[in-house]
Structure 1
Amino acid sequence: MAQAWRCKGLRWSASGPELAWDGGRRSALTWGKRVAFGVAEGGVRRCVGARGHACPVRAVVPGRSTGARCEECARLDRAHSVAADTIADDPRPYHVYLAWFGPGMTKVGITALERGSARLLEQGAVCFSWLGVGPLMAARRTEELLRAALRVPDRIPYGDKRAVRSALPASAVERAAEVADLHARAAALPGWPESLDREPCQPVDHAGVFGLADLPAAVGEVSGLVAGGAVSGRLVAAAGPDLHVETGGGVVVVDTRLMAGWELVPVSEDSELTLPVREFRSQDAGVQDELF
């Protein structure tokens, strides 16, 4: 019987995307690499725990949950989350950034200075620039200033990001244009916190890192893993938590957050995609039907 490894999702390192597994193992992913894995018959998905601790009851969680946590572990994770705005006394410095995911999709956000650009890779930001750096509450106030004055959101739905990845502007200059414009408008706003050190607009482009050049349009996305199901195909791109896998029926997006908590086993390279997939009926990512 093939050895099963419990998946912890996708991680971004200096060398690119890697699948993480319980026990500290990492599997590097490269373009053109064959991605082939399955869920054992009778397998169940278990909670991944919170804050580096295993779930005490190893709770079973739904296959379509991107959080992969039981209610109690999700509550614990939120209680220590900067993104959920539950921490006010974090002494670390924070970056404020503008991130672009496609035409008309630029967001403002914050990330701990020590994390560098890891947060931008995790979100699938095609282009970004820093706005400034300072204490957490100053970064929060700057984020709110941009939301209120310039109507810049702090979230972009993943479905919207996926819908445009294969139709992005060809040049890095074009991809950076909206970030540069918003950066200039933000810099002209009054009311910036004095404790936040501003930074110049220096766009960083991730299109090459993600493998988005000449990316074929995806025909759909895996909606969840199921016992006995499998994925097999050639990896053509990866952005944020998403793998773009070329299968016999076209490119399908696999959100690796749906893999977390499952024990996965190897399958033969000639296996077919047998997981439920939502078809992309149009460029509107919200208009979808079941394929299988």
Structure 2
Amino acid sequence: MAQAWKCTGLRWSAQGPVLMWDGGRRSPLSRGKRVAFGVAEGGVRRCAGARGNACPVLAVVSARSAGGRCEECARLDRAHSVAADGVADDPRPYRVYLAWFGPGLVKVGITAVERGSARLLEQGAVCFSWLGSGPLMAARRTEELLRAALRVPDRIPYARKRAVRSSLPGEAEERAGEIRELHARAVELGGWPESLDREPFQAVDHMRVFGLDGVPAALGEVSELVAGGAVGGELVAAAGPDLHLATGAGIVVLDTRLMRGWELVTVAAEEGAKDGAEDGESGVLRLPVREFKGSAGEAAHLQDGLF
């Protein structure tokens, strides 16, 4: 019987994206690398736990849940989350930022200063600029002020981010245009907390870091993992938790958060040939895929079966 592994998620390091596994194993990813795995036959997806702790009941969870947690573990995770207002007394300094994911897709958010741009990489921000820094509650009040005054959200669904990645402007200056304008409006607003220091506009662009420059359009996104399924292909881009893989059926986007809680096994190279790929080393797809449709690439759930 093949050895099974459990993925704990995708992390971004200074060198790029890294898949993390139970036991501390790490799989650095680079553009052009083959990424392939199968889901153990007869397996079920179990709760990934919270805050480094295993789920006490190993609850079975939905295959389509991005969080991969049962209700109790999700509640525990939120209780200690700054993003969910679960922490009010964190003494660390925080930064407020504006992030751009595509035309019309701008959000405001906060992150701990010590994390640098890791939060922006995790979210798949194509470009961003800092707005200011200060204590947590001052950063939170500023975030709320800007959200209301600039009419920008603090969350953007990943489906919307994925839908525009193949049609992003080619020039960095154009990609930074929306947040440049919003930054100028933001610093002119009254009502900023006195303890928050404003920062000048400086766009940081992740287009090449993610490998999105010139990336072909994806045909769709993996909607869930299933027992006995498999996916494999060449990594053409990675943004946030998403891997863009060139499979035998075309380029698909895999949200690595869907991998948590499953027992995953190695996929033999020859499987690609059996699934119709020209190169057995590069393509296999036996998972449900939600196809992208429409001129803006909006996702429409047209297929629920396996390829």
Contact conserved, 2:10 with 2:241, CA < 8 A, in 1? yes
The answer to whether the aligner puts 1:20 opposite 2:20 as a matched pair is yes
3-state SS of paired residue (2:77): helix
* Aligned amino acid, residue 266 of structure 1: T
Contact conserved, 1:281 with 1:289, CA < 8 A, in 2? no
The answer to whether the aligner puts 1:285 opposite 2:288 as a matched pair is no
Superposed CA deviations along residues 16-59 of structure 1, whole A, max 9, x for unmatched, are 00110001111011111111100010112111111111111221
Aligned-residue sequence identity (percent) comes to 76
* Aligned amino acid, residue 143 of structure 1: E
Distance 1:36 1:270 in 2: 12
The answer to whether the aligner puts 1:212 opposite 2:224 as a matched pair is no
Residue of 268, 274, 278 corresponding to 2:286: 274
3-state SS of paired residue (1:218): coil
Question: Structure 1: which 5+ residue stretches go unaligned?
Answer: none
Distance 1:289 1:156 in 2: 23
Task: Tell me which residue corresponds to 1:228.
Answer: 228
TM-score (norm 2): 0.93
Distance 2:24 2:209 in 1: 24
Distance 2:187 2:181 in 1: 10
CA-based RMSD? 1.1
The answer to whether the aligner puts 1:199 opposite 2:199 as a matched pair is yes
Q: CA deviation at 1:270?
A: 3.6
3-state SS of paired residue (1:170): coil
Contact conserved, 1:39 with 1:263, CA < 8 A, in 2? yes
Task: Tell me which residue corresponds to 1:104.
Answer: 104
Question: Structure 2: which 5+ residue stretches go unaligned?
Answer: 272-283
Distance 1:24 1:68 in 2: 19
Task: Tell me which residue corresponds to 1:181.
Answer: 181
* Aligned amino acid, residue 220 of structure 1: G
Contact conserved, 1:220 with 1:280, CA < 8 A, in 2? yes
Task: Tell me which residue corresponds to 2:165.
Answer: 165
3-state SS of paired residue (1:75): helix
Task: Tell me which residue corresponds to 2:70.
Answer: 70
TM-score (norm 1): 0.98
Distance 2:209 2:138 in 1: 31
Distance 2:270 2:223 in 1: 22
Distance 1:169 1:86 in 2: 37
Superposed CA deviations along residues 98-143 of structure 1, whole A, max 9, x for unmatched, are 0000011110000111111110000000000100000111001110
* Aligned amino acid, residue 48 of structure 1: A
Distance 1:86 1:10 in 2: 23
Distance 1:269 1:36 in 2: 9
Distance 1:94 1:172 in 2: 26
3-state SS of paired residue (1:289): coil
The answer to whether the aligner puts 1:246 opposite 2:246 as a matched pair is yes
Task: Tell me which residue corresponds to 2:280.
Answer: none
Distance 2:212 2:3 in 1: 33
Distance 2:200 2:78 in 1: 32
Q: CA deviation at 1:286?
A: 4.2
* Aligned amino acid, residue 277 of structure 1: V
Distance 1:33 1:270 in 2: 17
Task: Tell me which residue corresponds to 1:131.
Answer: 131
Contact conserved, 1:99 with 1:125, CA < 8 A, in 2? yes
Contact conserved, 1:34 with 1:232, CA < 8 A, in 2? yes
Contact conserved, 1:279 with 1:291, CA < 8 A, in 2? no
Q: CA deviation at 1:269?
A: 2.5
Q: Number of residues paired by the alignment?
A: 292
Task: Tell me which residue corresponds to 2:262.
Answer: 262
Distance 1:285 1:186 in 2: 30
Superposed CA deviations along residues 225-260 of structure 1, whole A, max 9, x for unmatched, are 000000011110000000000112211000000001
Q: CA deviation at 1:61?
A: 1.2
Contact conserved, 2:163 with 2:299, CA < 8 A, in 1? no
* Aligned amino acid, residue 288 of structure 1: H
Distance 2:152 2:57 in 1: 41
